[in-house]
Structure formats: C-alpha cells, structure tokens
Amino acid sequence: MTGKSRILGIVRDIAAVVVTGLFIFPIFWWALTSIKPISAIFDKDRVNFFDFTPTFINYGVTLFGQSRSQIAIDEGLGMGVAGADAYDSRQSILESIIISLGATTITMAVSVFAAYAISRMAFRGRGHYLNWVLGQRFMPPIAILVPLVTIYKTAGLRDTDNLYMGYLGLMMIYALMNLPIAVLLMKSFLDDVPKDVDEAAMIDGATRWQTFRKVVLPMVKGGVAASAVLVFIFSWTEFLLSLFLTTDIRTVPVKIQTFVTSTGNEWGFIAALGTAAIIPSFIFILLVQKHLVRGLTLGSLKE
C-alpha cells in the first residue's frame, strides 16, 4: 500500500468512527442520564459528563417499585416527596410485553396463511388482495382512529369497560398496522422457496395443509422468526394508537409521557424507563440484522 492511500484509509476510519459516534451519542447520553443524581442532570453551570456519583435510584423507582419519597428521606433530600408510586412502571412494562406478544402472535398467524396463498396459489384478484394489504401501510392510522374509538366503545373493546377486551382491542389494531409488513415479508421469504418443493410433496400425496405445515413452513422458519421480531419491535414502539385507544392500559411509550409534569420533567425517571425500553429492541435487532433491509422495505429489497 502506498503512503497516500494509507493516510486516506486512516482518515476514512476516523470519519467512520466519528459519524457512527454522533449517531450513538444520544443513546449514550440517555443511558448516562439514567444513572445521574438530580443535581447532575439539572446542572445549569456546565455540561456534566462524568463528574457525579452514579445512582440507581431512577431504576429503583421505575423498575423495582421503590418508594421515591422513602429514598428521598433516607438520603436526606428534600426534593420529590410527592407522587409516591406514579413512577412505578412495572405494570406498564408488563402490559407492553403482553400486547406486543399478543399482537405479534395474531399478526403472524393471519399473515403466514395469507402469504402462502399469495405466493403459491393462482387465483383471481390476487393483485387486488396484495394491493389492499399494501394499502394498509399507506393509510395514516389517524384516518381510522377517531371512528375506531367510537366503534370500540360500542363493541366493548375499550379497556375502561373491560380490561381484557381492552388488551384484545389494542392487539387487533396493532395486528392490522403490522399486517402489510408481515404479509409482504413472508411472501418474499416464501417466494424464495422453489414451487417444485410443493409440487413434489403433493405428488407424493400430501394435502395442501400437509405440504404447508410439514414441508414449506419448516423451510421458512428463519423468515417467520425475523418477521415476528420486526412485528414485535413495531408493536413495542407504537405510540399513537395506544394513546388514543386505551386509558387504563398504558404501554411504555405512553407511560413515559406521564413523567412530564406541570411542576417539571422527571428526567432521571424518564431516562431510566427510556433506557429500559430500548434494551429489548437492541437485543432483538441484532438478532435480525441479516433480514433488516428486507423487512424495512416490505420485502422488496434483499440484502
């Protein structure tokens, strides 16, 4: 390697690290804020990077249900005695998990079947069906939200009337929102499996169902898993639908908004819950790196 290209290579390495660093910085700052004591968060004199004693109070209160006022008294702090358990987010995390898992199950259950038919069977209206599925992706959720609240009230799917039906209602609408990505992604994975596989199985006497269940489905296991993970992430991060449709059920993104109060924002708690909400997504996204592009483009681009 010549000297010039070597220097260029080093410059490029530095640039790549700096740029990536810029995109990681807010996450780092967020995590750092979550272990800062109040005095360091609200430091008006300087930007406080590492000059503080780490504290886990924020996690204790939001994730482990410790009493905030008790901690304040123990530490001899005068601040923040009010709102004893409003920051305990365990319930919200549980609700978010239940709803995301339920929504993922429903989405995948209906999508895999539809995707199989679209990928394998020739029928009239196939293009129309695909367009309708895709159309759901184009529709801004707000367009159906207003009537949906009324419909949910009438149908008893509001969480204020019946908590379990409230869960179901939110899961169903999440399933609808995730339907396009799941169907199109599964179609793209199924299209990768040659049709000869089905034909061979059916010549051997297998029914459609057996072909699907015993032959094709095992071949797209990875695709099902990748789609499910993406649907889970999208359900986990959803905000608008949950904000409109539920009152008692507060998913994590909605719960975190309640920490913004008229007397000031509880940044320590917000950062702690926010960091905790990010971690599951990070783990999941690293699992599906390989299929991420395909997923984000609804199966139209492959890596």
- Which residues, 59 to 118, sit near other proteins by CB under 8 A? 106, 109-111, 113-114, 116-118
Pick 56 or 239: Cβ nearer other proteins: 239
Site for other proteins in 210-269 (CB under 8 A): 210, 212, 233, 236-240, 243-244, 252-254, 256-257, 265, 267
* Residue 289 lies near other proteins (rule: CB under 8 A): yes
Residue selected from 57, 61, 201, 277 as contacting other proteins according to rule CB under 8 A? 277
Pick 88 or 251: Cβ nearer other proteins: 251
Site for other proteins in 140-159 (CB under 8 A): 140-148, 150-151
- Minimum CB separation of residue 263 from other proteins in Å reads 15
* Residue 8 lies near other proteins (rule: CB under 8 A): no
Pick 73 or 301: Cβ nearer other proteins: 301
Q: How many Å apart are CA 103 and CA 288, to the nearest integer?
A: 19
Which of these segments, 73-81, 87-95, 126-134, 216-224, binds other proteins (CB under 8 A)? 126-134
Residue selected from 93, 103, 170, 183 as contacting other proteins according to rule CB under 8 A? 183
- Minimum CB separation of residue 120 from other proteins in Å reads 9
